[in-house]
Amino acid sequence: MSLVRIAPTEFDLDLAIAYATADNFTGRPVYARADCWLQADAAHRLTRAIDLARPHGLRFRIYDAFRPQEAQWVLWNHTPDPEFLADPRLGSPHSRGVAIDLTLIDGDGRTLDMGTAFDAFTPLSHHGNTAISPEAQRNRHLLLGIMSTAGWDFYGNEWWHYQLFQPRRYPLLTDSVLAEPMMP
């Protein structure tokens, strides 16, 4: 199993890797560089999702994908909330390279309204929450439909998080698997 680099030019998507900036719930960069990697199986399913979104004039903006185990500890130590973060002792699907955090964008690069921002640790972020606008509910259903049809599983507490089924069949990975580290 090897990680595949997810580059905007090869996958026709937009990268906005949140943990490489201070624009995330920790308020500071976690990664030293913005990069996006997935296991080959996940990259294949991402390609399928891209193909399903394209006829609707939509693309994806990726906020996170492979997250080294070291980064999972940084996030957990900042906010040890099992409703929104995997305990690193158990392992996150992100740290296995089989999870992706993303949203849909239109042809002009604007994000579709999903009712909350990415990484909003609130019940409003849960799939099926009806306290958000009907438009945001439709957009979440559209994202869920595309990703599910492409072979992804979802996490009920986060509208932005998708992962492969049975993620624990993949090993936990550290920053050392990358030729150029993401961590500082």
Catalytic residues: 158
- Give the sheet arrangement for strand 99-105, strand by strand: 14-15, 59-64, 99-105, 161-163, 153-154
What DSSP assignment string belongs to 44-89?
HHHHHHHHHHGGGT-EEEEEE----HHHHHHHHHH---TTTS--TT
Burial 19-41 (b: 16+ CB within 10 A, else e): bbeeebbeeebbbeeebbbbbeb
